[in-house]
Structure 1
Amino acid sequence: MKPSASPVLYHIYLRSFFDSDGDGVGDLQGVIAKLDYLQWLGVDGILLSPVFESPLSDFGYDITNLRGLNPEYGDMATFVRLVKEAKSRGLAVMLDFVANHTSTQHPWFLESCKGANAAKADWYVWAPARADGTPPNNWLTIFGESAWRWHPTRGEYYLHNTLSNQPDLNYRNPDVIRELLKSVRFWLDTGVDGLRLDSVNLFLHDDRLRNNPPRHLGWQDEARSDPYRYQSQRYNISRPENIHLLKQLRVIADGYDSKKWLLGSLSDPSPYAVIDRYTSEGDALDAANVFESLSLCCNVSQVGEQLSAFSSAVHPGIGCWSMGNHDIARTVSRWQDANNQPEAAKLLLTMLLSLQGVISLYQGEELGLPEASVPPAQRRDLFGKQVIANYVGRDGCRTPMPWQSDAPNLGFSEGSPWLPADQNHVRYAVDQQQKEGASVLHFTRNMLRWRKTYPALEHGSCRVLAFNASLMVLERHFTSPEGSQTLIIALNASNQDATIRLNLPASATSVPVPHMKAGEPSPSGALLLAPWQVWVGELHTP
């Protein structure tokens, strides 16, 4: 990966990116076929969704072989060729690496289920029922269900912090740790530039299986729809000993001649304190992201609160920021007042690309792609049906990438795709937007290049100066032996004109932003911003 402290990764949801063989499922060869597009776009690398062997009940997060590829996606020779071809174009390759749990169909789990004397009896977290037959303790999954599932053959409960078909591995067992380290080495040896560790704060649990205490008062109203929030997750997640396992992974990553990145994804009631522990010392993760942060935000106030909380808690670690992903509704459809407008898409991309840290750009965001409508009979996401009432699932952000407006399935596949291509995406197709100089696609490409011209954006610190329901002001600052640079970024994420008052020195000058027209501050510092517009100024020091 490039030496920037703020690389931009293009997050590929492999099943829906590009199908090279007509079976309706995106594949590794399909990624190879589109590497020129990604190079043209100007990202620093790609982040691949899980590629491992899996029964696909959770589309790759339920794994049966952490060192084997799902044959739908391709073979190892194709994967190695993808890494080589990407690097020849200056693109890094990162893998979404699922190590906290496996599928219940994994051979390890099938062996572990046989009983306490089985060869892999303690490779998973097992515990007997309490005297009344209920689960060992009160731990809940992040979905509000009991984190324990009874297994009749074993005659015990097993722990699952996520879905019940994804049992947690027991990282208090040295044999399990050795298998994890072997798997990490296996993939880093293929030439990938690093791993994104899924559920990175769930690897270890309290060895005494103590009950979680109730949370402080004030959460009851919110917990009516989310019982997980009744508890203080003291014993089941983010255990202090978790850092020791991450340090072992860091030692492996640092043993390679070229830089290997370790990113983390986590969920915790106090997420930024956890990120601080995992990133600030330089001996565990390079950066981490939080699902509950920007990906769930719908207005600037929420973004400002998250960024302020991050900067207060994390010193000097960096975040991994994204506005969208394969688990949440498309940003321009989710965002307050955006209404899928191209100008809103451009402003939201500008806000994301103005942040410090690793940036994850989810496929289709460069097109301003809105949430797709998937007919009930064609929905594939069981998660939505099982966990959340009246939730249509995550299919709407996972539909095929629209490559060609006049081709079957919008150019994604010559066969019947695993999810239908939304015909409302015709006007967002890559081929259409490449013809239009003012498109969201060209805007994204220009912004990625513009961003690299300013050291403050590539390497500098980030501070939130002010925000309200629709306005935000950021400061990016960088100091080097050659000098310093400070940028002030003011954004209006609303459908209304807005005036913001900036306290700027007389030496401040406006910085042109590609395809964005903004006024100049008045002598009093008042700046009028049109809807979905940004103004950038540079402060000059003697």
Structure 2
Amino acid sequence: MKLSTPVSGLALAFIFFIQGAFAQRGPNDEVIYHVFQRSFYDANGDGHGDLKGLEQKLGYLQDLGVTSILLTPLYESFYYHNYYATSFDRIDPRYGTMKDYLSLVRSIHKRGMKIYMDMETQYVTQDHLWYKDSFKNPSSKYSDYILYEDAAQTRPSTIVFNLRDLKGYDGTLRKITTVNLHNQQVKDYNAKLFKHWLDPNGDGKFEDGVDGFRLDHMMDELDHKAALKDLFKSFWVPLIEQLKSINPKISIMAEQADWGSYGIDYLEKGGVDRVFAFRIQQAIRSFDKNKIAAYADTTFARTPKGKQQIVFIENHDIPRFATAVKRDPGKEKVGAALNLLIGGIPSIYYGQEIGMLGDSFFGKYGGITDANEIPYREAFEWYKEATGKGMAFWYKNSGPWWDSSSVKSNDGISYQEQKNDPASLWNFYRSLISLRKDHPAMINGAYRTLQNSTQQVYTFGRDTETEQVIVAVNLSAAEQAAEVTVPWPAGKITSVFGASKYTFADQKIQARLGPYAVQVWKLNK
């Protein structure tokens, strides 16, 4: 650090203390905000959330306490979610320009935050150059870029779920096929593409580059196709190594295609740093103490040292948590506490913090279409009346998902209604994030399930060499009494979150937890 003016020894000591405090937090010192940017905030009034809108709302995100932003894909596509590209090289013009993107990234970094980009380059639509040029044209230079089922190249390979095409919510039907990830030119193209987002201007500095990537639907054997085996070794690991040779500080997160998987093979063999804790997500929704404990034990015990699990209760592919718990405010807060405190790197899906609703239309309207998930990708509810500047109603008047939407009416769920209410879900999330930041054990502490005397109360501990905390969560709607044995030496305990009544003696906590109460204690030796 270059100092332009003399600094006293006391000031230097303070600087080194602060640096040390941040250093000891380690790689888990993040709270990710997973944003579906088309639905977040519309800056230019066209109904589509955009990059300028997201930049204008960075203050909101910092006020909530998040440190990192995960975007859904930005590249050009016929589909509103931007998966299945028509071109990987261009930003969807509804989101803005490259200038808008670079402004957003620089603003994020100036605030000390991080940005991650979602990438899925395994598939293209009929409008992509590789598809258009090679279809029925074996002499095309792109013939081996696409996986075909016949020599005449009239049958491009299916994608996930054996689909050959996908209908858009607006009625558009596009053919989709699989990219040949074993082709060397495809590998070279991906390396160039990903490197561009790491360092857009190529100056070796990264204030305008992403801090890592989310790899959507990553598989070692893509969609179980014999022609695309061993992709970890042949495609993903070499690509990730090239990216890390440019910026060793980036983090690569993989969405394991099998949601029943712990993702350990991705961490051990796939070259990635992080996977998603799907089993914990599924267990939290069950409100089954034994299931939550079992999946948490296995998830964290099996995660290799230096790797991380991303813990979440919502994402863009599953019904909203508030819908799953039928808007029960106690259950919503239990979900928030487990999401943020149980371990790993927490990820919050936009609107989760205010309890937005959304269920699937899967199978109700035309089978598999890209409309099925619109209900949990709706416009962020900024205002009580669902009208006002920035509302991203890009799907307005487009079908039954709009007709049945609660967002367009006064559903009692909005940031405006919650920001000044100390008892609101939004403020509960904010207080939990603050709690996490104040306690290193909540960030890097090892997880352990703690047994207690009550089936409806889930207890666990997080500990580092310097701090130990115990979390108790009442999973029921009734008051519960629980006895918890403290596994670490403690002279006394201090309540750092919650208002439960408790006593502590002989290394045992006797507590009475209100309905769906969350209580956190810090141990003092």
Give the one of 124, 139, 150 matched to 1:117: 139
Q: Confirm or deny that 1:48 pairs with 2:104.
A: no
- 2:218 is paired with a residue whose SS is coil
Whole-Å Cα distance in 1 between the matches of residues 406 and 94 of structure 2?
A: 19
Give the one of 172, 178, 198 matched to 2:182: 172
What's the TM-score once normalised by structure 1's chain length? 0.78
| Aligned counterpart, 1:99 | 121
Counterpart residue identity of residue 528, structure 1: R
When residues 287 and 395 of structure 1 are mapped into structure 2, their CA distance, relative to the original with a 3 A threshold, is: same
Whole-Å Cα distance in 1 between the matches of residues 394 and 444 of structure 2?
A: 44
Q: Confirm or deny that 1:353 pairs with 2:314.
A: no
| Aligned counterpart, 1:276 | 264
Whole-Å Cα distance in 1 between the matches of residues 221 and 410 of structure 2?
A: 40
When residues 53 and 411 of structure 1 are mapped into structure 2, their CA distance, relative to the original with a 3 A threshold, is: closer
Whole-Å Cα distance in 1 between the matches of residues 98 and 468 of structure 2?
A: 46
Q: Confirm or deny that 1:252 pairs with 2:234.
A: no
| Aligned counterpart, 1:216 | none
- The offset of 1:25, in angstroms, is 1.2
Native 8 Å contact 2:386 2:407 kept in 1: no
Whole-Å Cα distance in 2 between the matches of residues 13 and 177 of structure 1?
A: 28
Native 8 Å contact 1:161 1:202 kept in 2: no
| Aligned counterpart, 2:459 | 473
| Aligned counterpart, 1:227 | none
Deviation sequence 1:282-323 (CA, Å, 0-9, x none):
x82111115565158522334334323323433333211110
Counterpart residue identity of residue 214, structure 2: R
| Aligned counterpart, 1:213 | none
| Aligned counterpart, 2:51 | 28
| Aligned counterpart, 2:391 | 412
Whole-Å Cα distance in 1 between the matches of residues 365 and 73 of structure 2?
A: 20
Whole-Å Cα distance in 2 between the matches of residues 534 and 404 of structure 1?
A: 29
| Aligned counterpart, 2:483 | 501
- Aligned CA-pair RMSD: 3.2
Give the one of 270, 287, 311 matched to 1:300: 287
Whole-Å Cα distance in 1 between the matches of residues 223 and 375 of structure 2?
A: 34
Whole-Å Cα distance in 2 between the matches of residues 414 and 174 of structure 1?
A: 42
- The offset of 1:407, in angstroms, is 5.7
Native 8 Å contact 1:471 1:493 kept in 2: yes
Whole-Å Cα distance in 1 between the matches of residues 482 and 364 of structure 2?
A: 43
Q: Confirm or deny that 1:82 pairs with 2:82.
A: no
Counterpart residue identity of residue 304, structure 1: A
| Aligned counterpart, 2:218 | 200
Whole-Å Cα distance in 2 between the matches of residues 451 and 185 of structure 1?
A: 33
Q: Confirm or deny that 1:490 pairs with 2:475.
A: no
- 1:32-431 aligned at under 5 Å gives the runs 32-56=55-79, 59-128=81-150, 154-156=153-155, 158-162=157-161, 163-165=163-165, 166-190=176-200, 191-201=209-219, 204=222, 208=226, 240-257=230-247, 259-268=249-258, 271-272=261-262, 275-280=263-268, 284-289=271-276, 291=278, 293-294=280-281, 297-301=284-288, 302-316=291-305, 317-335=307-325, 339-371=326-358, 385-387=366-368, 393-406=372-385, 408=387, 412-413=391-392, 417=396, 422-423=407-408, 426-431=411-416
Whole-Å Cα distance in 1 between the matches of residues 221 and 364 of structure 2?
A: 22
When residues 9 and 383 of structure 1 are mapped into structure 2, their CA distance, relative to the original with a 3 A threshold, is: farther
Deviation sequence 1:414-467 (CA, Å, 0-9, x none):
988475662455532212212212211122112111101111111222223359
Native 8 Å contact 2:156 2:178 kept in 1: no
Counterpart residue identity of residue 182, structure 2: R
Counterpart residue identity of residue 8, structure 1: V
Native 8 Å contact 1:399 1:421 kept in 2: no
- 1:255 is paired with a residue whose SS is helix
Deviation sequence 1:176-226 (CA, Å, 0-9, x none):
1111111110111141111111012256577855xxxxxxxxxxxxxxxxx
When residues 461 and 167 of structure 1 are mapped into structure 2, their CA distance, relative to the original with a 3 A threshold, is: farther
Counterpart residue identity of residue 210, structure 2: V
Give the one of 499, 512, 519 matched to 1:528: 512
The number of residue pairs the alignment matches comes to: 470
When residues 298 and 413 of structure 1 are mapped into structure 2, their CA distance, relative to the original with a 3 A threshold, is: closer
What's the TM-score once normalised by structure 2's chain length? 0.80
| Aligned counterpart, 2:19 | none
Native 8 Å contact 1:433 1:442 kept in 2: yes
| Aligned counterpart, 1:221 | none
When residues 52 and 414 of structure 1 are mapped into structure 2, their CA distance, relative to the original with a 3 A threshold, is: closer
| Aligned counterpart, 1:215 | none
Deviation sequence 1:30-59 (CA, Å, 0-9, x none):
101111111111101111111110011x62
When residues 73 and 421 of structure 1 are mapped into structure 2, their CA distance, relative to the original with a 3 A threshold, is: farther
- The offset of 1:349, in angstroms, is 0.8
| Aligned counterpart, 2:205 | none
| Aligned counterpart, 1:512 | 495
- Fraction of identical pairs, as percent: 23
Deviation sequence 1:339-389 (CA, Å, 0-9, x none):
3133322221111111322221001111122337x9xxxx8x89974249x
Counterpart residue identity of residue 181, structure 1: A
- 1:435 is paired with a residue whose SS is coil
Unaligned runs of 5+ in 2: 1-21, 166-175, 201-208
Whole-Å Cα distance in 2 between the matches of residues 401 and 526 of structure 1?
A: 42
| Aligned counterpart, 2:16 | none
Native 8 Å contact 2:108 2:115 kept in 1: yes
- 2:102 is paired with a residue whose SS is helix
Whole-Å Cα distance in 1 between the matches of residues 484 and 518 of structure 2?
A: 13
Deviation sequence 1:94-137 (CA, Å, 0-9, x none):
111112222232111222322433221121222349xxxxxxxx
Whole-Å Cα distance in 2 between the matches of residues 87 and 446 of structure 1?
A: 24
- 2:423 is paired with a residue whose SS is coil
- 2:485 is paired with a residue whose SS is coil
Counterpart residue identity of residue 517, structure 1: A
Native 8 Å contact 1:28 1:78 kept in 2: yes
Counterpart residue identity of residue 340, structure 1: R
Counterpart residue identity of residue 315, structure 1: P
- 1:402 is paired with a residue whose SS is coil
Q: Confirm or deny that 1:439 pairs with 2:424.
A: yes
Whole-Å Cα distance in 2 between the matches of residues 38 and 401 of structure 1?
A: 13
- The offset of 1:86, in angstroms, is 1.3
Unaligned runs of 5+ in 1: 130-152, 210-235
